Amino acid sequence: MTDPGQQPTPELPEVRRFAHVMTRLRAECPWDAEQTHRSLVPYLIEEACEVVDAIEDGDPADLREELGDLLLQVFFHATIAAETDTFDLDDVAAGIADKLIRRHPWVFAADDTPDDLMGSWEERKRAEKARTSALDGIAHRMSAMARATKVVSRARAHRVEVPLATEPVTADDFGREVLDLVARAQHSGVDPEQALRDALRGLESRVRAAEGEGPDAARRGAALG
């Protein structure tokens, strides 16, 4: 099989031009020159959210523009890192290409396609990063809903023995029921985001207990049974 790293790549002159533009801005624009990884965080979050809006609006021209704004953030961070010889854009691209090849042996090697693709991905990621818990690496700055989805997904992918609801629900029904809960919470003086975070912490404790982590894991694990 041909080494995927040796496959011919398309010419991307505009990407190279973009990199040149970014280098000049960093050197010659006072605002761009003073930015840091930390100062750019709000823009990164904002641009990612605007990409989601463009996808949901269904406007290809808007999506193309918003993806460009998000790409700017990637270039910006890589340019800042390159100034201290930490890494550059090519290193970023090489890292993600290597990761995708490594985690898809059924595409780039002779492995059979696994029945559980997501579970296989999570198992490989856990082994690579030497993680001890299904919850390791989940971003804490996610919204409560996004983090809850990730925690439940990880628990299932890693086959952690915790009780999780399995009754099917349609997207429309789910949306209406969540919206009703938010309305009830607001009427009752309950912060929906904080309430979900509190409940999520309980689930995370049960996941870690089932994995055998923590000084009182045995006691909590027994309670789960």
What residues contact residue 124 under an 8 Å CB cut-off, 6+ apart?
102, 103
- CA 176, CA 21: separation in Å to the nearest integer? 46
pTM for the whole structure? 0.65
pLDDT in tens, the chain (225 residues): 446 555 656 778 898 899 999 999 999 999 999 999 999 998 998 999 999 999 999 999 999 999 999 999 999 999 999 999 999 999 999 999 998 898 888 888 888 888 778 777 777 777 777 777 888 878 777 888 888 988 998 888 888 888 888 899 999 999 999 999 999 999 999 999 999 989 999 998 999 888 885 444 434 433 333
Task: Give the tokens for residue 32.
Answer: 């761009």
Residue 170 is predicted with a pLDDT of: 95
Question: For every residue of 41-88, which 3-state class applies, written as one string?
Answer: HHHHHHHHHHHHHHHHHCCHHHHHHHHHHHHHHHHHHHHHHHHCCCCC
Q: Beta-carbon neighbour count of residue 178 at 10 Å? A: 13
What pLDDT is recorded for position 218? 37
> Which domains are delineated in the chain?
12-102 (1.10.287.1080), 135-224 (no CATH)
pLDDT of amino acid 138: 80
Tell me the DSSP string of 136-165: TT--TTS-HHHHHHHHHHHHHHTT------
Residue 140 has what pLDDT? 79
